[in-house]
Amino acid sequence: MSTPDPTGLAPGAVLGILGGGQLARMMALAAADLGVRAHIFAPEPDSPAFDVAARHTIGDYEDEAALARFADAVDVVTYEFENVPAATAAFLAARTPLHPGARALGLTQDRLNEKTFVAGLGLAVAPFRAVDSLADLEAAVGALGRPSILKTRRFGYDGKGQVKIAAETELSEAYEAIGHFPAILEGFVPFSREVSVVAARGIDGAFAAFDLCENEHRDHILAFTRVPARVSAPAALAAGEAARKIGAALGYVGVFAVEMFVVGESTDETVIVNEIAPRVHNSGHWTSEGAQTSQFHQHVRAVCGFPLGSAARRGRIEMENLIGDAGLRWRDLLAEPGAHLHLYGKRDARPGRKMGHVTRISPEAG
Amino acid sequence: MSTPDPTGLAPGAVLGILGGGQLARMMALAAADLGVRAHIFAPEPDSPAFDVAARHTIGDYEDEAALARFADAVDVVTYEFENVPAATAAFLAARTPLHPGARALGLTQDRLNEKTFVAGLGLAVAPFRAVDSLADLEAAVGALGRPSILKTRRFGYDGKGQVKIAAETELSEAYEAIGHFPAILEGFVPFSREVSVVAARGIDGAFAAFDLCENEHRDHILAFTRVPARVSAPAALAAGEAARKIGAALGYVGVFAVEMFVVGESTDETVIVNEIAPRVHNSGHWTSEGAQTSQFHQHVRAVCGFPLGSAARRGRIEMENLIGDAGLRWRDLLAEPGAHLHLYGKRDARPGRKMGHVTRISPEAG
C-alpha cells in the first residue's frame, strides 16, 4: 500500500485508472510513454482501455474487495469520469493517493454545489435556483423567466437529464421529464460561443492552461473544437484566470476543464462559467499534436507528482469528433494530408458513440 | 487464418509483432492510436511491449505450436528485429501475411548477401570480400589493405561480431575473435559522417522517406540523431533514391532504414550504403514529434495496407538516446522546456541498455 500523500513517484510506478473508455485509453498510452504502467478498473469486459494497459480489473465500482486489491496494486489512482461514486472515491482515497481528490469529485457531481462554489469564488455564472419540488420549479421560473433550463443536480452529461423550459412548456411535464430528481433551474444566457479552458495543476501548485478552446456541439455532443477561440484577448485571459482560481480553490491535482459561455460584445465581451469537468476533456484532444505536452501526458505528470510540461500551442487547430458512422471514414482520413487520426478501438459504431477524432493543424496566420 | 495476400485490413485488425522490446512497444502504441490491436510474441516474460499490447504470448521463436496459435490469432505479422529465424518467418508466412517479407529478412540477415544485393543495384558499397577461412582472410586483407573490418556474416548488431584489422593485428587472432564464423572483410571507408534514411513502402508500392538523419555513435551504440543531416543536397537526394531503389527491389512493405557513410567533400560528396535494417529504427525515433507521421504509425499503416502518411518534418531535431543510467535524468528531462521524453518501461538500467530517448525540436533556421 502506498503512502497517502506522495511528493512524487518515479517511472515504473503503476497508475490506477477508474473507467475503461477512450479517455482512460489515451491516459494509459501517455503513461506508457513516460514509463508508467497503467492498471484499468472498469466493469465492462470489452473496455477499450484494456487493450493498452499493463493490467486490468473487471469489477463493479461498488465491489470493495476488488477495489481493495486494486488499491494495493497501484501507486496512485485517477479516473476518466466525474460520476465515480463518492463511496468508491472515499474507499480508495483511504488506501492510496487519489488525484484529483474527493473534494473536486464531490463538488462537480452536483450542479447546485458546483454553481454555488464557483459563484462563491466571485466568478460569473448563469442565474440559478435549486428545485426540489414542482412548487420550487414554479417559483424559480417566476424568478428567472423563460427560456430557462431545468437540469438534474447529478449524473447529467451530453445533454442527458435536462429539459428546456420554453414559452409553452408545461412545468409539471418538465419536472416529470427529469424524473422528479433534485434539480437546478438555470436562467437563459444569450451566449455567442461556447469555450473551454483545459488546464493542469501539479501537486506543487504549479498551473498550466492550454489555449482557450472554442467548441461546437451538435445534439448536445461535442462535434468540433477550434483553437484559438475567437474571443477578445481580455476575455481569454479572464477565462484562464477563472480556471486558475477554480483549480487553486479545489486544491486540484491533475487536468481539468472549465466549460464557459462567451457573452457580451466587443469590449464588453466576457465569460460565464458553465461547468467543471474534473478530468481530461474531449475539448483538449487536440493537444496530442497541437501542444508541446498533450493533456494526457500532462495529467499523468500531475497525478504522479512529475513536473508539468509546457502547454504551448503550435499552429491553428481543428479537432473533429468522429461520432457513430463517422469512424467509417478512416481510410479517407488516413489519406488526408495533415490530418491526425485517432481511433478508440471500439467494436460497435452505435449512433452518438464517440469512435475517434481527427486533428488538423494549419500554420498560424501571419 | 487470414488470406495470404491482403489488399488491406481495417481498424479492429490484430497486428502480431515478434519481439517485445522498445520498438515493438512503440509499434503497439501507434497501432492502438489507429484502432489496431497488438499481439506481442516474445520469449522474455517481462518484455516491455507486453504492458501496452492487447494480448501477448510468451514463447520461443522455435515453438511451432505457439507460433501456429499466434498466427491464427492475428491478421498480419511484423517484427522488431532482423534476426528472426528464417524457419520462424517461413512458418508464419505460410499461415498469415508477414510484412516485411521473408526475402527482406533473409537478405539483411547476411552481410555478404546484403552487400552483394546492394552492389547489384548499382549502389556504392565499401569494397568487400567473403571470408570462410584464415586463408580467405589473408587474401582479403591483401586485396583490401589495412585498416579494414572483419565482420561475421550473421547476427551482428551494435558492434558485436566484428573486429578491426589494424596495422598490427594478427589475422589468426582476429579470425579467432569472431569465432571462425562465416565472415566478410570490408575495406576501410574514410567517411565524414554516418547518416541514415528511414523510409516506408506501402503494399501498393507507395514510397515515403523521412529527411536524412545524421547519427553519432558512442561505443558502437547510437547516441544522437540530428535532422536534417549536414550533407549537400545532391548527396541527400542520392541517399533517398538509394533507399527507394532498395525498397522497390525487395518488394518491401513497412518501414526500413538504410545506414550510409558520407564520403568525399564539396561537390564530390556522396553516400555509400553500409547496412539495411528491415524494421523501424532507432535513428527514426525523432519522428514521433518531429514528423507529420511517426515511423511507428507509418509502419503500422504500411503493414496493414493503410495509406502511408506524410513524412514531412517540422523544425530542427536532436534525438538523444538514454543509455544505462542516463534514464535516471528523467525528472530533469521532464522539466526541460521543449524536451519530449520517452521511457521504455524497462526495469533494470544495465550499462549499454537503451532505457529511453528524448527528442528536442527547435525552429527551422530562417
CB A174 within 8 A of CB A160: no
- Under the banding of pLDDT at 50, 70 and 90, the label for residue B156 is low
* pLDDT (tens digit per residue) in A218-251: 988 999 999 999 999 999 999 999 999 999 999 9
What domains can be seen in chain A, in order of their start residue?
Answer: 14-98 (3.40.50.20), 127-187 (3.30.1490.20), 193-362 (3.30.470.20)
Taking an 8 Å cut-off on Cβ atoms, the answer to whether A33 and B342 are in contact is yes
* CA angle B28–B47–A58, rounded 5-degree value: 70
Question: Rounded to a whole number, what is the distance in Å from the CA of B54 to chain A's nearest CA?
Answer: 4
Question: Rounded to a whole number, what is the distance in Å from the CA of B342 to chain A's nearest CA?
Answer: 5
Residue B52's closest chain A neighbor by CA? A52
Q: What does pTM read for this prediction?
A: 0.95
Taking an 8 Å cut-off on Cβ atoms, the answer to whether A29 and B25 are in contact is no
| ipTM entry | 0.94
pLDDT at site A150: 96
CB A77 within 8 A of CB A16: yes
Nearest to A37 among B10, B330, B345 (CB): B345
pLDDT at site B157: 59
What's the Rg (C-alpha) of chain B?
20
Q: How far apart are CA A267 and CA A269, in angstroms?
A: 5
Nearest to A342 among B33, B51, B344 (CB): B33
Question: Rounded to a whole number, what is the distance in Å from the CA of A127 to chain B's nearest CA?
Answer: 42
Taking an 8 Å cut-off on Cβ atoms, the answer to whether A35 and B335 are in contact is no
A34 neighbourhood in chain B, CB within 8 Å: 334, 341-343
Whether the per-residue pLDDT at B134 is higher than 70: the answer is yes
Taking an 8 Å cut-off on Cβ atoms, the answer to whether B337 and A310 are in contact is yes
* Mutate: best of A36, A52, A308, partner B, most B CBs <10 A: A52
Q: Which residues of A touch B (CB under 8 A)?
A: 10-12, 25, 28-29, 32-35, 37-38, 50-54, 292, 301, 306-307, 309-310, 314, 327, 330-331, 334-335, 337-338, 341-345, 347, 356
Taking an 8 Å cut-off on Cβ atoms, the answer to whether B50 and A52 are in contact is no
Taking an 8 Å cut-off on Cβ atoms, the answer to whether A52 and B34 are in contact is no
Q: Which residues pair with B316 in a beta bridge?
A: B362
Q: What average pLDDT is seen over chain B?
A: 95
* pLDDT (tens digit per residue) in B65-77: 999 999 999 999 9
* pLDDT (tens digit per residue) in B189-241: 999 999 999 999 999 999 999 999 999 999 889 999 999 999 999 999 999 99
Burial (CB < 10 A; 0-12, 13-18, 19+), residue A31, is buried
CB B330 within 8 A of CB B356: yes
pLDDT at site A131: 97
A38 neighbourhood in chain B, CB within 8 Å: 51
What number of helices (H) and strands (E) belong to chain B? Answer: 11, 17
Strands (E) in chain B, as ranges, are 14-18, 37-42, 55-58, 76-79, 128-131, 148-152, 162-165, 183-187, 193-201, 207-209, 213-218, 221-227, 254-263, 270-277, 316-323, 339-343, 354-362
Q: Which three cell numbers stand for residue A148?
A: 430557462
B38 neighbourhood in chain A, CB within 8 Å: 51
Whether the per-residue pLDDT at B155 is higher than 80: the answer is no
* pLDDT (tens digit per residue) in A240-281: 999 999 999 999 999 999 999 999 998 899 999 999 999 999
